[in-house]
Amino acid sequence: MSSLPETPGIQAKASPVAHGRQPDLFKSIVESLAVPLYRVDRSGALTYANARMLELLGRPLHEAIGLRASELYPAALALAYTEDDQQVMDSGLPLSRLQDYREPATGTFRQVWVSKSPVRDQQGHVVGLQGLFDDISEHLQSLHAFQLANRVLDSTQQALMITDTEGRIVRVNAAFESITGWSAPEVLGKTPQLLSSGQHSREFYQRMWEALLAQGHWEGELLNRRRDGSLFTEHISISCLRDDSDHPSHYVALFSDISDRKAAQEEIQHLAQHDALTGLPNRLLLTDRLQQAISQAERSGQRVALLFMDLDRFKEVNDVHGHQMGDLLLKQAAERIRHTLRGSDTVARLGGDEFVALLPDLHSPEEALVVGENLRQALYQPFEIGGHSLQLSASIGIASFPDDSADADDLMRCADLAMYEAKAAGRNRVQYFREELDVRARSAAQMESELRRALHERELFLEFQPQIDLATGAVASIEALVRWQHPRQGRVEPLTFIRHAEESRLIRPIGEQILDLACSARAKLRRQLPENVPIAINLSARQLSDPRFLDAFQETIERHALPGTQVELELTESALIEEMDAARNVLQRLRLLGVKVAVDDFGTGYSNLALLHRLPLSRIKIDRSFVMDLDSRRSALAIFRAICAMAHSLGLHVVAEGVEQVEQLEVIRSLGCDAAQGYALARPMDLPALQRWLKKRARSAPPKP
């Protein structure tokens, strides 16, 4: 029977190793083992336990010996042990297993590796068993932690690559494999060089390493190459790991493929900076490039030119042929402009039919003129679109840095002004920016802001000029004429500011104020004027085309309790013809209100009574220039007579404007004129003066019946 060496209290019946000094040696080895070791007999009673085992059992040897599992361990564990023991002793075969276990002494949970093997006597009969445990709790814990870490790393979307300090790859994860196309076995031991795209400079990597060594961390974007050769952009963060003695031991790189995001960003960027129709850069990108070009030209001492191009009468193409044709034409125009320029030039579309060319490196302003002329000619060639041949032209304005301005925005403004000048000079031409254009534009801008103030401070006021019926001598109408009491310049005449008001669109609010003043004046004259005498108010074309005009008009006359019959509106021929559609509409509604409409300055525009007769009009006012010519030009008499005859045949009254001499009154009356207005009869005057004038007339010269 096999037995362990003699120990105190253990009676070994026989010892297979009891030769010479050996038992002592074994005993001391076994006793000093850090592994718990024990023996039980067939009945399961403990026959031996080494020092470590006794420590675990928490009992001295003399107490432990002879005890069974049920006396040594908690019930469940004891049962498991006894079953295992029985199996070993019955089968005579060793058994090893992992056993969960709580230390009897401390209650600590442990995982132990238990090995049990049968003990036989000399005949080979199983007389007991010996067992040993190995506490592997800590190994298992770190193994689990390791497995968990691996699972985490393999499940993240971020690619992981760990290198040692020699730059050899020691670990990659699943995301690395799927992003780069390289498998772990292919890359382990290699360097990250195999991902290099060759797109970054040596300095780039140098800076990266400097940061990594200095701060222990680097983060940024890298363009790398996949296994199949394709490129991808990654966002990568690299950290340096240090060992216990603070020396770098590994580099850990985490990266994700941002190629898609990058592509989407680039797409958005492109859309934001280009015109959808022509694909040309838009204002945003142009401004950007202009700024760049200017700062570069500042360094190189060269010139930058901007060419503003506006297609002449493009609106007509849209109106006549439709927007689709208009779009096709713009595309072709864009193509021509692009072909006329060099690759380093930029051509942008600002919207509508406005294009801008940016020439970044010129030696002289004249070079820009040559390009401008080429562009003008290119755009003057007929366009073939949808079976139509369309002849267009362009007005081109040029401004250059540093000659005209050193500021990008200002340069754009200068080129724009020059373009308007080209249009005003008759279109289809190239115009270089001139200083005077700027002065004019600045004074227009100043005028606008002053008019705005005039409107708010109510600096505008009216004067009134009567029109006299030539047959009866009665007041036929009273025209309201606006004036401006400027705080510094004093009185300003309408001819100097009405045009600015029209161009800046301030004419609408100003017109409303004038209407209000005029209606208020007419209401004050209620007792002095017969009911049928209207106040005549001048209206601009811009007011006529304002969709809110009618409502505002109606609201104003109602507020002053004026019947429509006491208002007359004066519109020039050109305003009526330019806004024919709006005019017909508005005039019909005005007629329903009883409002009269007069054609002002007749004879200076198209003089087309045939066109005008379709509108509901009441009077025409023959322009002052015809009255002035009456003395000197025979033909003036004939024209005058013809206009009167024609007007009468259309049922319209005729008023002669600007009659300065009393003698003229009889002449125009004989020519068929119904009424007259002018200094010969009365000058424009303010309301109190008009009231005095009316009073005096009523006393001295009662109107003829």
The entry of ligand C2E, Ca ion, none that residue 404 binds, CB within 5 to 8 Å by partner kind: none
Of 546 and 600, the one with the shorter C-beta distance to ligand C2E is 600
Q: How far apart are CA 361 and CA 294, in angstroms?
A: 9
Of 336 and 624, the one with the shorter C-beta distance to ligand C2E is 624
Of 22 and 625, the one with the shorter C-beta distance to Ca ion is 625
Of 441 and 628, the one with the shorter C-beta distance to ligand C2E is 628
Do residues 50 and 33 touch, judged by C-beta distance below 8 A?
yes
Tokens matching residue 630: 């009456």
Q: How far apart are CA 677 and CA 624, in angstroms?
A: 10
Of 36 and 603, the one with the shorter C-beta distance to Ca ion is 603
Check residue 274 and report its DSSP letter: B
Q: How far apart are CA 323 and CA 339, in angstroms?
A: 24
| Residues 607-666 contacting ligand C2E, CB under 6 A | 624, 657-660
- Least distance in angstroms from the C-beta of 648 to ligand C2E: 22
Of 398 and 575, the one with the shorter C-beta distance to ligand C2E is 575
Tokens matching residue 27: 């005993």
Name the residue number minimizing CB distance to ligand C2E. Answer: 678
| Residues 635-664 contacting Ca ion, CB under 5 A | 657
For residue 463, give the 3-state DSSP assignment.
strand
Near ligand C2E by CB under 6 A, which window of 265-273, 323-331, 444-452, 494-502?
494-502
| Residues 330-359 contacting ligand C2E, CB under 6 A | none
Near Ca ion by CB under 5 A, which window of 95-103, 357-365, 545-553, 568-576?
568-576
Cβ partners under 8 Å of residue 304, min gap 6: 290, 293, 294, 297, 358, 359, 360, 361, 362, 400, 401, 411
The entry of ligand C2E, Ca ion, none that residue 482 binds, CB within 5 to 8 Å by partner kind: ligand C2E
- Least distance in angstroms from the C-beta of 585 to ligand C2E: 20
Question: Which is it for strands 159-164 and 231-242: parallel, antiparallel or unpaired?
Answer: unpaired
Give the one residue of 375, 684, 690, 697 binding ligand C2E; rule: CB under 6 A. 684
Q: Does 204 bind ligand C2E (CB under 6 A)?
A: no
How many other C-beta atoms can be found within 10 angstroms of the C-beta atom of residue 638?
11
How many other C-beta atoms can be found within 10 angstroms of the C-beta atom of residue 444?
13
Give the one residue of 285, 601, 668, 674 binding ligand C2E; rule: CB under 6 A. 601
Near ligand C2E by CB under 6 A, which window of 32-40, 251-259, 363-371, 487-495?
487-495
Do residues 539 and 571 touch, judged by C-beta distance below 8 A?
yes
Q: Does 495 bind ligand C2E (CB under 6 A)?
A: yes
Cβ partners under 8 Å of residue 573, min gap 6: 599, 600, 601, 602, 604, 605, 606, 607, 608, 612
| Residues 507-566 contacting Ca ion, CB under 5 A | 538
The entry of ligand C2E, Ca ion, none that residue 118 binds, CB within 5 to 8 Å by partner kind: none
Q: How far apart are CA 132 and CA 49, in angstroms?
A: 10
Near ligand C2E by CB under 6 A, which window of 171-179, 235-243, 533-541, 687-695?
533-541
Of 378 and 552, the one with the shorter C-beta distance to ligand C2E is 552
- Least distance in angstroms from the C-beta of 468 to ligand C2E: 12
- Least distance in angstroms from the C-beta of 529 to ligand C2E: 19
φ, ψ of residue 222 in degrees (nearest 5): -130, 145
Of 158 and 572, the one with the shorter C-beta distance to Ca ion is 572
- HEC profile of 660-699: CCHHHHHHHHHCCCCEECCCCCCCCECHHHHHHHHHHHHH
φ, ψ of residue 2 in degrees (nearest 5): -80, 150
Q: How far apart are CA 333 and CA 350, in angstroms?
A: 13
Q: What angle do CA 215, 217, 222 make, to 5 degrees?
A: 130
Beta bridge partners of 550: none
Of 369 and 468, the one with the shorter C-beta distance to ligand C2E is 468
Near ligand C2E by CB under 6 A, which window of 204-212, 361-369, 527-535, 672-680?
672-680
- Least distance in angstroms from the C-beta of 565 to ligand C2E: 20
Cβ partners under 8 Å of residue 561, min gap 6: 523
CA dihedral 228, 231, 237, 238 (to 10 degrees): 60
The entry of ligand C2E, Ca ion, none that residue 187 binds, CB within 5 to 8 Å by partner kind: none
Nearest CA-CA partner of 448 in 384, 509, 387: 509
Near ligand C2E by CB under 6 A, which window of 124-132, 347-355, 383-391, 489-497?
489-497
Give the one residue of 412, 514, 533, 541 binding ligand C2E; rule: CB under 6 A. 514
Q: How far apart are CA 145 and CA 323, in angstroms?
A: 70
* Concatenated DSSP letters of 529-558: S-TTPPEEEE--HHHHT-TTHHHHHHHHHH
Check residue 282 and report its DSSP letter: -
The entry of ligand C2E, Ca ion, none that residue 431 binds, CB within 5 to 8 Å by partner kind: none
Give the one residue of 570, 573, 579, 674 binding Ca ion; rule: CB under 5 A. 570
The entry of Ca ion, ligand C2E, none that residue 334 binds, CB within 5 to 8 Å by partner kind: none
Q: Does 498 bind ligand C2E (CB under 6 A)?
A: yes
Do residues 642 and 649 touch, judged by C-beta distance below 8 A?
no
The entry of ligand C2E, Ca ion, none that residue 397 binds, CB within 5 to 8 Å by partner kind: none
Of 281 and 658, the one with the shorter C-beta distance to ligand C2E is 658
E runs forming strands in 260-353: 303-312, 346-351
Of 147 and 661, the one with the shorter C-beta distance to Ca ion is 661
Give the one residue of 540, 553, 575, 640 binding ligand C2E; rule: CB under 6 A. 540
Q: Does 679 bind ligand C2E (CB under 6 A)?
A: yes
Near Ca ion by CB under 5 A, which window of 330-338, 575-583, 596-604, 642-650?
596-604
Near ligand C2E by CB under 6 A, which window of 255-263, 300-308, 488-496, 688-696?
488-496
Do residues 668 and 626 touch, judged by C-beta distance below 8 A?
no
Q: Does 482 bind ligand C2E (CB under 6 A)?
A: yes
Q: How far apart are CA 346 and CA 292, in angstroms?
A: 12
Cβ partners under 8 Å of residue 336, min gap 6: 378, 379, 381
Give the one residue of 84, 312, 573, 601 binding Ca ion; rule: CB under 5 A. 601
* Concatenated DSSP letters of 415-434: HHHHHHHHHHTTSS-EEE--
Q: Does 538 bind ligand C2E (CB under 6 A)?
A: yes
| Residues 565-594 contacting ligand C2E, CB under 6 A | 570
Q: Does 173 bind ligand C2E (CB under 6 A)?
A: no
Q: Does 600 bind Ca ion (CB under 5 A)?
A: yes
Q: What is the contact surface with ligand C2E in residues (CB under 6 A)? A: 465, 481-482, 493-495, 498, 514, 538-540, 570, 600-601, 624, 657-660, 677-679, 684
Q: What is the contact surface with Ca ion in residues (CB under 5 A)? A: 538, 570, 600-601, 657
